[in-house]
Amino acid sequence: MYLSDFQYELPQELIAQEPLSERAASRLLTLHAQGGREDRRFRELPELLRENDLLVFNDTRVIPARLYGRKESGGRVELLIERVHEGRTALALVRASKSPKPGSLLLLEGGAQAEVIDREGDAFRLRLAGDEDWWSVMERWGHMPLPPYIQRADRVVDRERYQTVYARNPGAVAAPTAGLHFDEPLLERIRERGVETARVTLHVGAGTFQPVRCDRIEEHRMHSEWYEVPEETAEAVACHRSCGGRIVAVGTTSLRALESAATGGGELVAGWGETTLFIYPGYRFRVVDALVTNFHLPGSTLLMLVCAFSGRERVLEAYRHAVQAGYRFFSYGDAMFLERREADGAI
């Protein structure tokens, strides 16, 4: 398969720059397993769920990971903290006119100073001077790391809206955006319908925005992301599957966590670790039966995942419909509900 197999035309004006005033007011394009397509509203999601379904959320919390400062020479720098290690050491992407050298200092807003220790791939290992740790520096001076296609500076409202209402485990530098559509009234309606919920954690990394740079997608290597599937979630999945219920993943991140925890023998196993799982057409799904997800960038690994789940031609036709119907795209945009197609992987 080639990168050109996963392209579509998207007018710039359909890329959502702002969240809607109400989370659940977004639109919901629905693809059924046996064919058929519906234009709905996200608040109608409970009507698509069954009493015995298990809805699985990613409870990662987006950290205010973007920091600004300057080099000792005076040049401006922008940091995106990828991971914090032992409080005062972190792995970060650094944007500057020239890459900083090991041993140099970065002078950050608020007075914090970070020493460049070494380089690890595209990222730099940094160590804070003094007693303050990265978590407190980010909380006081950090900015929400809005994705590059949102072409404005972050604002106070993004601290709440670029975050799910159920977020609790800090560590992501990008939101699990399918979850942004849920509010407490909608969650209550889902519970009243008899649908149970469970949680996983996958800390979304900046690599989620990295483009696929090879023509043959099989040659692409995924970035690594940390995930955890709790014991109670593994038990809930086994219970619902044994009695004929569906496992509904809220977001591609929830799906990747569940599928990563089942790659061994096919059964979901509780635990944590790093995942580099790349899902594209031909992948055999082991856990997830239905998926709630936003619209994804042309040629992205997330679009490839959705094509694997519901069929490439079917998904791309749905995307063309969404463009014609004026759906809003990407993080602050509209959503899809997809039932897994048994003939998944078909080109």
**DSSP H or E segment with residue 308:** helix 301-310
How confident is the model at residue 342, as a pLDDT? 67
CATH of 3-62+159-339, one of 3.40.1780.10, 3.90.1150.10, 3.40.1710.10, 3.20.20.70: 3.40.1780.10
**Which distant-in-sequence residues (6+ apart) come within 8 Å of 219 by Cβ?**
none
| Whole-number Å distance between alpha carbons of 133 and 63 | 14
Sign of the Cα torsion 203, 56, 266, 290 reads negative
For 295, counting Cβ atoms within 10 Å of its Cβ (0-12 exposed, 13-18 middle, 19+ buried), the class is buried
Question: Which part of the chain has CATH 2.40.10.240?
Answer: 66-141
Q: Smallest Cα–Cα separation from 15: which of 296, 221, 302, 300?
A: 296
- The residues of the chain that CATH labels 3.40.1780.10 are 3-62+159-339
Q: What is the pLDDT of residues 154-205, one digit of tens each?
A: 999 999 999 999 999 999 999 999 999 999 999 999 999 999 999 999 999 9
| 343 contacts 309 by C-beta, under 8 angstroms | no
- 61 neighbors 163 (Cβ within 8 angstroms): yes
Among residues 114, 103, 166, 167, which one has the least CA distance to residue 138? 114
Amino acid type, 305:
L
Residue numbers of the chain with a pLDDT score lower than 70: 342-347
State in words which class domain 66-141 has: mainly beta
Assess contact for 333 and 26: CB atoms under 8 A: yes
pLDDT one-digit tens code per residue, 81-118: 999 987 799 999 999 999 999 999 999 999 999 999 99
Q: Compute the 3-state secondary structure of the chain and give helix, strand, coil in percent, each to the nearest 5.
A: 30, 30, 45
What is the dihedral angle through the alpha carbons of 253, 256, 259, 260, rounded to the nearest 10 degrees? -120
Residue 346: the pLDDT is 39
